[in-house]
Structure 1
Amino acid sequence: MLFDLDGTLVDTSYLHTVSWWQAFRQYERDVEMAKIHRAIGMGADRILDHLLGPDHDRYDDDNIRAAHRSLYAQYWWRVRPTPGAHELLQAVDERGLRVVIASSASRNELEIMMTALDAQDVVDTATSLDDAGASKPAPDTIQVALARSGLSPDEVVFVGDSVWDVSAARALAIPCIGLTCGGISAAELHEAGAVRVYEHPRALLEAGEGAFSR
């Protein structure tokens, strides 16, 4: 099973939303929080074009990204797993399935989230945006995770919380299970193509072994 991290296994979606909003305001860009929230799941390489438009003035782009990193780092010590995340990964491992992380976060952020998750002993492979060419909805991070774990798309199921996760998995014909704990509704996840949707990792675990299947 492949997993996203931000919003899926760790409760960070709104921390990123506030951090991006503050970063935009520092450079006099007025972007609604609701729009920022729906863009979370993309990496920093894509989110500015998505929110400001592909033809926006890029003069401050690097500064805005740096401001987001600095602002978000203030929350690192508060990062917590989503409900049942640790238990779900343990259960997947106990069923003889491999646990693979495919995240669009930076390497530093991935390490912080992995520490909060406290599941290093059951995670087989973990990849970040630093390992891939482009973030979700491009499938690059998933492709790298598959290559490093020696798995093929027809052997895996992906679990994510955003429409960008669903799109990235669909690009490789991988079924995606959606979780609403990142703040995106079940209707939006189903519309994007999620095969099943649950509230959080605990709900997926409680649904039983059949919920893990393709």
Structure 2
Amino acid sequence: MGDRRGVLFDVDGTLVDTTYLHTVCWWSALRECGHDVPMAAVHRAVGMGGDRIPGHLLGEDRDVRQDDVLRETHRALYAGYHDRLRLLPGARELLFACAERGLVVVLASSADEAELDVLRKVLDADDAITAATSSADADSSKPAPDILEAALAQSGVDPARAVFVGDSVWDVAAAGRLDIPCTGLTCGGTSKGELAGAGAVAVYEDPASLLAALDESPLGLLR
């Protein structure tokens, strides 16, 4: 850990519009393995680690031998969307605005390395980004805080001078385990009430809304 101040960003559903794509791909993977899970339940699971989703949705008495098949099927289906991914409004501009204010910008992503490469190309903001994590950097996935700990270690950001920006209750939970305030965005489909109820210190609609209020936001108040 270091003494720098900075912002850790979740990427999927926070900066890049992928939450519902992941939902459809997990739903389809489950169907292919014989599990008819309501899409709303799948959506609520997206944001936790992919290794946790089968157990979360199917329970401890599931056939765990299917877990790898489910993950691989989801990964293959999602790869079909790689060339159609789009930024959420204001995402790139927000990253550069944070960097211009002297904040260290870190992508605290749990995507695998191949997916992270795709996301970074979509963001096209490497000049603003100091460090980025992938699933390979964490022993345990969200809501465990491992990926945030890796992001702090790679960037030298002091956890006492950090804010995490995410779109799911799993993001809020992971930040809370390190006592890092989490700013929530509803653009991943989780409501303001859910994010605030999970402990988010502020909630905005999307990166553009956060950017418009940046100076008064938890990011702008970092010292």
TM-score interval, smaller chain: over 0.9
Task: Give, in whole Å, the separation in 2 of the partners of 1:192 and 1:147.
Answer: 25
RMSD, aligned CA = 0.8
Query: Could you tell me which residue of structure 2 aligns to residue 22 of structure 1?
Result: 28
Deviation at 1:57, TM superposition (A): 1.0
Deviation at 1:184, TM superposition (A): 0.2
Matched, 1:68 2:74: yes
Higher strand share: 2
Task: Give, in whole Å, the separation in 2 of the partners of 1:138 and 1:204.
Answer: 25
Query: Could you tell me which residue of structure 2 aligns to residue 204 of structure 1?
Result: 210
Specify the SS of the correspondent of 2:195: helix
Gaps of 5+ in 2: 1-6
TM-score (norm 1): 0.98
Query: Could you tell me which residue of structure 2 aligns to residue 42 of structure 1?
Result: 48
Query: Could you tell me which residue of structure 2 aligns to residue 97 of structure 1?
Result: 103
Deviation at 1:80, TM superposition (A): 0.8
Task: Map Cα deviations across residues 129-186 of structure 1 (whole Å, 9 max, x no partner).
Answer: 1111111100000000101111221010000000000000000000000000000000
Specify the SS of the correspondent of 2:130: strand
Matched, 1:132 2:138: yes
1:1-214 pair list within 5 angstroms? 1-211=7-217, 212=219, 213=221
Counterpart residue identity of residue 18, structure 2: T
Q: Please, which moves more after superposition, 184-193 or 43-52?
A: 43-52
Task: Map Cα deviations across residues 98-119 of structure 1 (whole Å, 9 max, x no partner).
Answer: 1001112111111111110111
Counterpart residue identity of residue 206, structure 1: A
Q: Please, which moves more after superposition, 151-160 or 166-175?
A: 151-160
Specify the SS of the correspondent of 2:127: coil
Task: Map Cα deviations across residues 57-113 of structure 1 (whole Å, 9 max, x no partner).
Answer: 112111111100000000000111111000000100110111001112111111111
Task: Give, in whole Å, the separation in 1 of the partners of 2:69 and 2:8.
Answer: 32
TM-score (norm 2): 0.94
Counterpart residue identity of residue 193, structure 2: A
Give the ranges of 4+ consecutive aligned residues of structure 1 lying more than 2 Å apart after TM superposition. Answer: none
Task: Give, in whole Å, the separation in 1 of the partners of 2:107 and 2:176.
Answer: 17
Deviation at 1:43, TM superposition (A): 1.6
